[in-house]
Structure 1
Amino acid sequence: MHYTAGAPAVWDAAFADADDCLLSSDQCVVKAQHHFVKGLIEIPVIGTDELFSWAVWVSLSRQNFARAADLWETPGRDSEPPYFGWLNTELTVYSSTTLNLKTHLHTRPLGERPFVELEPTDHPLAVEQRTGITVDRVREIAEAVLHPAGGGRR
């Protein structure tokens, strides 16, 4: 019911020792120029009270990243307006790329990962976020993620 990306799509293991790069479980900076926060794309599972989620990386402007980072451990941070960003995680279970989909990152109370709201387009991921997915679709995603030799993009 939950899958996570370890790093943004633009991250390279060679960045790990660079002074101008950082990768933590929640935030990432690449070459002091690109800034990312990890959030959740939550998708209702039809006929249940459960949510399926993708933990993904969203690129933010330097200004929005600085603001989010400044408030990261601040109670009440969830009253912040959402930050505009671009999805920077490739989810290969979708037939078209998920890179650079427009998003809004909503901070939540301390201890909760931000919520990623996708722009309401006709991209299959955005449609699923709006309309939900079936339990069968959850199984299909699990099969594709856990056994990628079977296919990648569908």
Structure 2
Amino acid sequence: MSQENFARAAYRWDTLGREAEEPYFGLLSTDLSFWIPSTINLKTHVHTRPVGQRPLVELEPTDHPLAVEQRTGITLVQVREIAESLLHSSVDNA
């Protein structure tokens, strides 16, 4: 999110009814190495939700594999592969 949008979201963090805010535009700043090409700078819409719930990050509908999987879902096999990949990489870096 832009600095301005981040400040607004932070200001309204404990405000009841904050979920009525329009989604904030943002860019994904995390490289999720399981997906190729890179996930850096994928366009997002950040939806605020009721107080006590974390925002929902929705990727713009593109042909990037992560965006496709967010829209269409993934299999339990894919979830297992991702989890194993992340677990093994954290063990390797220890």
TM-score, L = length of structure 1: 0.57
Q: Deviations over 1:77-122 (max 9, x none)?
A: 0110000000011101112100000000000011111000101011
Letter in 1 for 2:50: P
Alignment-derived partner of residue 41 in structure 2: 100
Alignment-derived partner of residue 85 in structure 2: 144
Gaps of at least 5 residues in structure 1 are 1-59, 150-154
Q: Deviation above 3 Å: which 4+ runs of structure 1?
A: none
User: Residue 68 of structure 1 is aligned with which of 6, 9, 16?
Assistant: 9
Match of 1:93, SS state, is coil
**Which is richer in strand?**
1
Match of 1:112, SS state, is coil
Deviation at 1:128, TM superposition (A): 0.2
Q: Deviations over 1:62-89 (max 9, x none)?
A: 2211110110111110110000000011
Separation (CA, whole Å) in 1 of partners of 2:81 and 2:53: 27
Q: Does 1:84 align with 2:25?
A: yes
Separation (CA, whole Å) in 2 of partners of 1:148 and 1:131: 27
Q: Provide the alpha-carbon RMSD of the alignment.
A: 1.1
Match of 1:96, SS state, is coil
Separation (CA, whole Å) in 2 of partners of 1:62 and 1:147: 35
Separation (CA, whole Å) in 2 of partners of 1:130 and 1:95: 17
Letter in 1 for 2:44: T
Deviation at 1:140, TM superposition (A): 0.5
**How many residues are treated as equivalent by the alignment?**
90
